[in-house]
């Protein structure tokens, strides 16, 4: 995943200019409706966390929530109406989502330490959710990342109730 860290640095520079404008145009990723414009939301608590989002196409939504230390997340979207969320609680977690196509939904939740996960979606209409913990990896509803949550902690609470 050291390659991921290099990509994060490059994307962070490109994304920093466009993220605030994209976020201001659309509704919160955490709402129940898909955005009408591109939307990016990144929330971080802790230190040493890295997040990068790259979008090419209309109505894509990406959200990254990090709580902890030295977590890295990257989302790349190429197409239209894709939704992706990465939530990391803990330390030293690496996660990536790549979506190429339209109307794809992906959710990656990492709770604990030293988790590494990557979701790649190609085509249209794909939906997948993955939760990684020290106890193992689990398939979850992709919609878990679209709950009315503003922090990774709230997602962890939600998933703890469901699983």
Token representation of residue 7: 């990509």
Q: What is the pLDDT of residues 138-151, one digit of tens each?
A: 998 887 776 434 44
The pLDDT of residue 14:
31
Please give the backbone phi and psi of residue 34, each rounded to the nearest 5 degrees, phi first.
Answer: -70, 145
Question: Considering the chain, what percentage of its residues have pLDDT values greater than 70?
Answer: 67
Average pLDDT over the chain, rounded to an integer: 77
Separation in Å, CA 44 to CA 48, 57, 71, 87: 10, 25, 10, 10
Give pLDDT tens digits for 106-159: 999 999 999 999 999 999 999 999 999 988 999 988 877 764 344 455 555 555
> Per-residue confidence at 71, pLDDT binned at 50, 70, 90?
very high
pTM, rounded to two decimals? 0.73
* pLDDT at residue number 31: 45
pLDDT at 153: 53
Name which residue leads in pLDDT, 26 or 101. 101
Distances (CA, A) of 84 to 44, 112, 128, 135: 17, 21, 10, 24
pLDDT band at 52 (very low <50, low <70, confident <90, very high): very high
Among 108, 110, 107, smallest CA distance to 90 is for 110
Residues 6+ apart with CB under 8 A from 136: none
- Is 78 a residue whose pLDDT tops 80? yes
* pLDDT (mean) for 73-80: 97
**Could you tell me the residue ranges of all domains in the chain?**
2-162
């Amino acid at each position: 995943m050291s390659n991921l860290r290099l990509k994060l640095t490059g994307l962070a520079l490109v994304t920093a200019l466009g993220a605030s404008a994209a976020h201001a145009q659309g509704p919160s990723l955490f709402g129940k409706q898909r955005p009408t414009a591109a939307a990016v939301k990144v929330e971080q608590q802790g230190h040493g966390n890295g997040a990068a989002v790259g979008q090419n196409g209309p109505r894509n939504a990406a959200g990254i929530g990090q709580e902890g230390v030295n977590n890295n997340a990257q989302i790349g979207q190429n197409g239209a109406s894709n939704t992706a969320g990465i939530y990391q609680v803990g330390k030293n977690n690496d996660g990536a989502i790549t979506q190429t196509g339209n109307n794809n939904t992906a959710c990656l939740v990492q709770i604990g330490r030293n988790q590494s996960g990557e979701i790649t979606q190609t085509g249209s209409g794909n939906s997948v959710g993955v939760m990684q913990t020290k106890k193992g990896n689990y398939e979850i509803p992709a919609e878990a990342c679209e709950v009315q949550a503003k922090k990774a902690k709230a997602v962890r609470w939600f998933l703890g109730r469901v699983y």
